[in-house]
Protein backbone atom coordinates (compact mmCIF):
# COMPACT_ATOMS: atom_id res chain seq x y z
CA UNK A 1 0.00 0.00 0.00
CA UNK A 2 1.16 3.54 -0.69
CA UNK A 3 1.29 6.15 2.06
CA UNK A 4 -1.96 7.68 0.75
CA UNK A 5 -3.74 4.31 0.75
CA UNK A 6 -2.55 3.69 4.29
CA UNK A 7 -3.85 7.09 5.37
CA UNK A 8 -7.24 6.23 3.88
CA UNK A 9 -7.29 2.97 5.84
CA UNK A 10 -6.10 4.37 9.18
CA UNK A 11 -9.66 4.82 10.43
CA UNK A 12 -10.52 1.16 9.78
CA UNK A 13 -7.13 0.13 11.23
CA UNK A 14 -7.91 2.17 14.36
CA UNK A 15 -11.23 0.30 14.65
CA UNK A 16 -9.56 -3.10 14.20
CA UNK A 17 -11.76 -3.73 11.16
CA UNK A 18 -9.08 -4.72 8.65
CA UNK A 19 -7.94 -8.18 7.65
CA UNK A 20 -4.73 -9.63 9.15
CA UNK A 21 -2.56 -8.89 6.10
CA UNK A 22 -3.58 -5.21 5.91
CA UNK A 23 -3.24 -4.88 9.69
CA UNK A 24 0.36 -6.15 9.69
CA UNK A 25 1.28 -3.92 6.76
CA UNK A 26 -0.19 -0.79 8.36
CA UNK A 27 1.32 -1.61 11.77
CA UNK A 28 4.77 -1.77 10.18
CA UNK A 29 4.20 1.52 8.36
CA UNK A 30 2.85 3.33 11.43
CA UNK A 31 5.82 2.35 13.59
CA UNK A 32 8.08 4.11 11.07
CA UNK A 33 5.84 7.07 10.11
CA UNK A 34 5.43 9.94 12.62
CA UNK A 35 2.64 11.52 10.51
CA UNK A 36 0.48 8.38 10.63
CA UNK A 37 1.21 7.93 14.35
CA UNK A 38 0.00 11.50 14.95
CA UNK A 39 -3.11 10.81 12.86
CA UNK A 40 -3.82 7.70 14.96
CA UNK A 41 -3.44 9.76 18.15
CA UNK A 42 -5.93 12.27 16.76
CA UNK A 43 -8.37 9.46 15.95
CA UNK A 44 -8.03 8.26 19.51
CA UNK A 45 -8.72 11.74 20.91
CA UNK A 46 -11.70 12.16 18.59
CA UNK A 47 -13.10 8.80 19.70
CA UNK A 48 -12.76 9.78 23.38
CA UNK A 49 -14.34 13.16 22.67
CA UNK A 50 -17.35 11.62 20.91
CA UNK A 51 -17.89 9.20 23.82
CA UNK A 52 -17.60 12.06 26.32
CA UNK A 53 -19.77 14.59 24.50
CA UNK A 54 -22.54 12.45 23.05
CA UNK A 55 -23.70 10.18 25.84
CA UNK A 56 -26.53 7.84 24.86
CA UNK A 57 -29.38 8.28 27.35
CA UNK A 58 -33.04 8.13 26.38
CA UNK A 59 -35.57 10.09 28.46
CA UNK A 60 -37.07 7.80 31.12
CA UNK A 61 -40.58 8.96 30.22
CA UNK A 62 -40.05 7.78 26.64
CA UNK A 63 -39.15 4.25 27.79
CA UNK A 64 -42.30 4.15 29.91
CA UNK A 65 -44.40 5.39 26.99
CA UNK A 66 -42.95 2.69 24.73
CA UNK A 67 -43.90 -0.08 27.13
CA UNK A 68 -47.29 1.45 27.85
CA UNK A 69 -47.98 2.44 24.26
CA UNK A 70 -47.02 -0.76 22.44
CA UNK A 71 -50.70 -1.66 22.48
CA UNK A 72 -52.15 1.86 22.16
CA UNK A 73 -52.27 4.48 19.39
CA UNK A 74 -49.78 7.35 19.29
CA UNK A 75 -51.09 10.94 19.49
CA UNK A 76 -51.05 12.80 16.17
CA UNK A 77 -48.98 15.75 17.38
CA UNK A 78 -46.71 16.40 20.33
CA UNK A 79 -47.56 19.33 22.64
CA UNK A 80 -44.45 21.24 21.53
CA UNK A 81 -45.48 20.96 17.89
CA UNK A 82 -49.02 22.13 18.65
CA UNK A 83 -47.67 25.12 20.61
CA UNK A 84 -45.33 26.02 17.75
CA UNK A 85 -48.27 25.87 15.33
CA UNK A 86 -50.45 28.06 17.58
CA UNK A 87 -47.65 30.62 17.93
CA UNK A 88 -47.13 30.67 14.16
CA UNK A 89 -50.87 31.30 13.58
CA UNK A 90 -50.89 34.21 16.07
CA UNK A 91 -47.77 35.75 14.49
CA UNK A 92 -49.25 35.39 10.99
CA UNK A 93 -52.55 37.00 12.09
CA UNK A 94 -50.72 39.95 13.65
CA UNK A 95 -48.53 40.35 10.58
CA UNK A 96 -51.58 40.22 8.31
CA UNK A 97 -53.22 42.97 10.43
CA UNK A 98 -50.14 45.18 10.20
CA UNK A 99 -49.89 44.68 6.45
CA UNK A 100 -53.59 45.47 6.00
CA UNK A 101 -53.25 48.67 8.07
CA UNK A 102 -50.31 49.86 5.98
CA UNK A 103 -51.40 48.74 2.50
CA UNK A 104 -55.18 49.19 2.74
CA UNK A 105 -55.87 51.79 5.45
CA UNK A 106 -59.43 52.36 4.20
CA UNK A 107 -60.37 48.71 4.42
CA UNK A 108 -58.60 48.40 7.79
CA UNK A 109 -60.64 51.32 9.21
CA UNK A 110 -63.83 49.76 7.81
CA UNK A 111 -62.99 46.41 9.45
CA UNK A 112 -62.15 48.15 12.71
CA UNK A 113 -65.52 49.92 12.57
CA UNK A 114 -67.34 46.63 11.91
CA UNK A 115 -65.59 44.94 14.84
CA UNK A 116 -66.39 47.90 17.15
CA UNK A 117 -70.01 47.92 16.03
CA UNK A 118 -70.31 44.15 16.51
CA UNK A 119 -68.77 44.29 19.98
CA UNK A 120 -71.02 47.16 21.09
CA UNK A 121 -74.07 45.32 19.73
CA UNK A 122 -73.05 42.18 21.58
CA UNK A 123 -72.41 44.23 24.72
CA UNK A 124 -75.83 45.86 24.44
CA UNK A 125 -77.66 42.57 23.82
CA UNK A 126 -75.74 40.96 26.71
CA UNK A 127 -76.82 43.80 28.96
CA UNK A 128 -80.55 43.32 28.08
CA UNK A 129 -80.55 39.73 29.32
CA UNK B 1 -36.26 -11.46 24.89
CA UNK B 2 -39.14 -9.69 26.65
CA UNK B 3 -40.36 -6.16 25.76
CA UNK B 4 -38.87 -4.90 29.04
CA UNK B 5 -35.48 -6.35 28.19
CA UNK B 6 -35.60 -4.90 24.67
CA UNK B 7 -36.45 -1.41 25.92
CA UNK B 8 -33.88 -1.60 28.71
CA UNK B 9 -31.11 -2.76 26.40
CA UNK B 10 -31.70 -0.75 23.23
CA UNK B 11 -33.73 2.40 23.99
CA UNK B 12 -30.71 4.55 24.93
CA UNK B 13 -28.86 3.80 21.71
CA UNK B 14 -32.06 3.98 19.62
CA UNK B 15 -32.66 7.46 21.02
CA UNK B 16 -29.03 8.48 20.49
CA UNK B 17 -29.20 7.28 16.90
CA UNK B 18 -32.51 9.11 16.36
CA UNK B 19 -31.04 12.27 17.87
CA UNK B 20 -28.12 12.20 15.42
CA UNK B 21 -30.43 11.50 12.47
CA UNK B 22 -32.95 14.24 13.24
CA UNK B 23 -30.64 16.73 15.02
CA UNK B 24 -33.58 17.63 17.25
CA UNK B 25 -34.45 16.29 20.73
CA UNK B 26 -38.25 16.40 20.30
CA UNK B 27 -38.18 14.70 16.88
CA UNK B 28 -35.65 12.17 18.14
CA UNK B 29 -37.97 11.23 20.99
CA UNK B 30 -40.85 10.76 18.55
CA UNK B 31 -38.70 8.73 16.15
CA UNK B 32 -37.17 6.48 18.81
CA UNK B 33 -40.55 5.96 20.43
CA UNK B 34 -42.16 4.99 17.12
CA UNK B 35 -39.32 2.60 16.27
CA UNK B 36 -39.23 0.97 19.70
CA UNK B 37 -43.01 0.50 19.74
CA UNK B 38 -42.71 -1.20 16.33
CA UNK B 39 -39.89 -3.37 17.67
CA UNK B 40 -41.86 -4.37 20.78
CA UNK B 41 -44.91 -5.17 18.65
CA UNK B 42 -42.80 -7.17 16.23
CA UNK B 43 -40.79 -8.98 18.88
CA UNK B 44 -42.80 -12.17 18.50
CA UNK B 45 -41.87 -12.27 14.80
CA UNK B 46 -38.18 -11.60 15.37
CA UNK B 47 -36.46 -14.85 14.43
CA UNK B 48 -33.11 -13.96 15.93
CA UNK B 49 -31.20 -14.55 12.67
CA UNK B 50 -29.32 -11.32 13.28
CA UNK B 51 -28.31 -9.42 16.38
CA UNK B 52 -31.36 -7.86 18.09
CA UNK B 53 -29.55 -4.49 18.20
CA UNK B 54 -29.02 -4.54 14.44
CA UNK B 55 -32.72 -5.32 14.01
CA UNK B 56 -33.87 -2.51 16.33
CA UNK B 57 -31.53 0.10 14.80
CA UNK B 58 -32.65 -0.93 11.33
CA UNK B 59 -36.21 -0.15 12.40
CA UNK B 60 -35.03 3.29 13.60
CA UNK B 61 -33.41 3.91 10.20
CA UNK B 62 -36.51 2.77 8.31
CA UNK B 63 -38.82 4.93 10.44
CA UNK B 64 -36.51 7.91 9.84
CA UNK B 65 -36.55 7.33 6.07
CA UNK B 66 -40.37 7.09 6.15
CA UNK B 67 -40.58 10.32 8.12
CA UNK B 68 -38.37 12.07 5.57
CA UNK B 69 -40.82 11.02 2.86
CA UNK B 70 -43.89 12.15 4.82
CA UNK B 71 -45.19 15.53 3.54
CA UNK B 72 -47.14 16.15 6.77
CA UNK B 73 -44.01 15.79 8.90
CA UNK B 74 -41.97 17.87 6.47
CA UNK B 75 -44.54 20.68 6.88
CA UNK B 76 -44.40 20.55 10.68
CA UNK B 77 -40.59 20.39 10.58
CA UNK B 78 -40.49 23.57 8.48
CA UNK B 79 -43.00 25.26 10.77
CA UNK B 80 -40.95 24.35 13.84
CA UNK B 81 -37.86 25.75 12.11
CA UNK B 82 -39.79 28.97 11.39
CA UNK B 83 -40.88 29.30 15.02
CA UNK B 84 -37.46 28.58 16.55
CA UNK B 85 -35.69 31.84 17.44
CA UNK B 86 -32.25 31.32 15.88
CA UNK B 87 -32.88 28.52 13.40
CA UNK B 88 -30.22 26.34 15.04
CA UNK B 89 -30.85 22.69 15.71
CA UNK B 90 -32.41 21.91 19.07
CA UNK B 91 -30.02 19.45 20.57
CA UNK B 92 -29.46 17.97 24.01
CA UNK B 93 -27.78 19.90 26.79
CA UNK B 94 -24.03 19.37 27.01
CA UNK B 95 -22.87 17.01 29.76
CA UNK B 96 -22.14 18.48 33.20
CA UNK B 97 -18.80 20.22 32.94
CA UNK B 98 -16.00 19.83 35.48
CA UNK B 99 -16.06 22.06 38.59
CA UNK B 100 -14.34 25.45 38.66
CA UNK B 101 -15.12 28.41 36.36
CA UNK B 102 -12.09 27.93 34.09
CA UNK B 103 -12.65 24.22 33.68
CA UNK B 104 -16.37 24.79 33.18
CA UNK B 105 -15.76 27.29 30.39
CA UNK B 106 -13.25 24.99 28.74
CA UNK B 107 -15.58 21.99 28.95
CA UNK B 108 -18.49 24.05 27.59
CA UNK B 109 -16.37 25.33 24.67
CA UNK B 110 -15.18 21.80 23.94
CA UNK B 111 -18.71 20.44 24.06
CA UNK B 112 -19.95 23.20 21.77
CA UNK B 113 -17.12 22.52 19.31
CA UNK B 114 -17.96 18.79 19.22
CA UNK B 115 -21.65 19.56 18.70
CA UNK B 116 -20.83 21.91 15.80
CA UNK B 117 -18.43 19.44 14.24
CA UNK B 118 -20.97 16.61 14.58
CA UNK B 119 -23.75 18.74 13.08
CA UNK B 120 -21.59 19.51 10.05
CA UNK B 121 -21.83 15.85 9.01
CA UNK B 122 -24.58 14.29 6.92
CA UNK B 123 -27.24 12.58 9.10
CA UNK B 124 -26.23 9.09 7.91
CA UNK B 125 -22.56 9.80 8.65
CA UNK B 126 -23.50 10.91 12.16
CA UNK B 127 -25.39 7.64 12.54
CA UNK B 128 -22.37 5.64 11.40
CA UNK B 129 -20.11 7.50 13.81
CA UNK B 130 -22.30 7.00 16.90
CA UNK B 131 -23.00 3.37 16.05
CA UNK B 132 -19.25 2.78 15.90
CA UNK B 133 -18.09 4.98 18.77
CA UNK B 134 -20.92 4.64 21.26
CA UNK B 135 -22.19 1.15 20.53
CA UNK B 136 -18.95 -0.41 19.25
CA UNK B 137 -20.76 -1.86 16.23
CA UNK B 138 -18.67 -3.65 13.61
CA UNK B 139 -18.60 -2.33 10.05
CA UNK B 140 -20.69 -5.28 8.90
CA UNK B 141 -23.37 -4.55 11.55
CA UNK B 142 -23.46 -0.88 10.55
CA UNK B 143 -23.68 -1.86 6.87
CA UNK B 144 -26.69 -4.06 7.68
CA UNK B 145 -28.34 -1.34 9.79
CA UNK B 146 -27.96 1.27 7.03
CA UNK B 147 -28.52 -1.15 4.14
CA UNK B 148 -25.28 -0.10 2.44
CA UNK B 149 -22.15 -2.07 1.45
CA UNK B 150 -19.44 -2.51 4.11
CA UNK B 151 -16.95 -0.58 1.95
CA UNK B 152 -19.29 2.42 2.05
CA UNK B 153 -19.30 2.32 5.86
CA UNK B 154 -15.52 2.21 5.89
CA UNK B 155 -15.06 5.15 3.53
CA UNK B 156 -17.87 7.28 4.99
CA UNK B 157 -16.62 6.78 8.53
CA UNK B 158 -13.08 7.66 7.49
CA UNK B 159 -14.29 10.84 5.73
CA UNK B 160 -16.57 11.81 8.61
CA UNK B 161 -13.74 11.48 11.10
CA UNK B 162 -11.41 13.45 8.86
CA UNK B 163 -13.97 16.23 8.54
CA UNK B 164 -14.60 16.32 12.29
CA UNK B 165 -10.87 16.35 13.05
CA UNK B 166 -10.32 19.29 10.70
CA UNK B 167 -13.26 21.26 12.10
CA UNK B 168 -12.35 20.55 15.72
CA UNK B 169 -8.79 21.68 15.13
CA UNK B 170 -10.09 25.02 13.85
CA UNK B 171 -12.86 25.41 16.44
CA UNK B 172 -10.75 24.51 19.47
CA UNK B 173 -7.82 26.65 18.37
CA UNK B 174 -9.95 29.77 17.91
CA UNK B 175 -11.36 29.48 21.49
CATH number for the domain harbouring residue A29: 1.10.10
Same domain, A8 and A51: yes
Number of domains in chain A: 2
Minimal Cα–Cα distance from A107 to chain B, Å? 29
Same domain, A50 and A94: no
Residue B19 contacts residue B25 (beta carbons within 8 Å)? yes
Classify residue A35: in a domain, yes or no: yes
Contact B40 A10 (CB under 8 A): no
Classify residue A20: in a domain, yes or no: yes
Classify residue A68: in a domain, yes or no: no
Classify residue A67: in a domain, yes or no: no
Residue A127: pLDDT band by 50, 70, 90 thresholds? very low
Classify residue A111: in a domain, yes or no: yes
The alpha-helical segments, DSSP class H, found in chain A are 3-14, 20-32, 34-53, 60-69, 79-103, 105-128
Contact B130 A54 (CB under 8 A): yes
Minimal Cα–Cα distance from B105 to chain A, Å? 15
Classify residue A32: in a domain, yes or no: yes
Same domain, A7 and A51: yes
Domain that holds residue A12: 3-55
Classify residue A30: in a domain, yes or no: yes
Which residues, including other chains, have CB under 8 Å from residue B93's CB and lie 6 or more apart? none
Q: What is the mean pLDDT of chain A?
A: 83
Minimal Cα–Cα distance from B68 to chain A, Å? 16
Report pLDDT digits (tens) over B92-130: 555 555 567 777 777 888 888 999 999 999 999 999 999
Q: Which of A14, A32, A55 is the last residue in one of the domains?
A: A55
Contact B132 A59 (CB under 8 A): no
Classify residue A104: in a domain, yes or no: yes
Same domain, A49 and A7: yes
Report pLDDT digits (tens) over B48-71: 777 899 999 999 999 999 988 876
Q: Please tell me what DSSP assigns to residue A71.
A: T
Amino acid sequence: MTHEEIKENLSAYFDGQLGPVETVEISAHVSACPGCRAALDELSRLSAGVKENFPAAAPAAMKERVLAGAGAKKPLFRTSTALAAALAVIILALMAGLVAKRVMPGMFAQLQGMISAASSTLGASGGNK
Amino acid sequence: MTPDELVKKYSDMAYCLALRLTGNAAEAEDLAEEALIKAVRGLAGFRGDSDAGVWVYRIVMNCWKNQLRSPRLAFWRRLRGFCSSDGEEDTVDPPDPAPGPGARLEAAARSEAFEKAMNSLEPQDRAILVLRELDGRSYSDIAEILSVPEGTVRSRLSRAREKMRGLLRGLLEEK
